[in-house]
Amino acid sequence: MGGLIVSKENNLSELQISILDILWEHGELSVNEVQELLKEKRDLAATTVATILKRLEKRNIVSYKKIGRRFIYSANIAKNEVTKSSVSSVVKNLFKGNKAALVSHLLQDEELSLDELEQIQKLIQDKTQNNG
């Protein structure tokens, strides 16, 4: 896995990310297996799931191997690559490249628990010590 950058030109929809989440969690799966696991979030026809997987395959985001009459799909890109690219895109497009503005926005969220705030504080401490 690696090498593929999820850029603005090939950003992923929520449904595509849901399908990738299933592949990241379960590994190699058939269309029907993906469809079954996806039912918890969205009940889609197998043909719809197959179409989405084919589109992801054309973009080299997933690959498949044919076993008998079944196509078995797997992710070609690691979850952390998608996360990094998506966050970079948010910082660039919504915060004009200002990472501090993103952090400020997150800290203003009333939903942050004390545990989450402590985790953020520790991350900042660790980053400060490693950069200093």
User: What pLDDT shows up at residue 56?
Assistant: 97
Per-residue pLDDT tens over the stretch 28-54: 999 999 999 999 889 999 999 999 999
Question: Does the structural domain 9-75 have CATH classification 1.10.1200.10?
Answer: no
Domain range list for the chain: 9-75, 95-132
Assign 5 a pLDDT band (cuts: 50, 70, 90): very low
User: What pLDDT shows up at residue 10?
Assistant: 54
Give dist(CA 58, CA 74) in Å, integer.
13
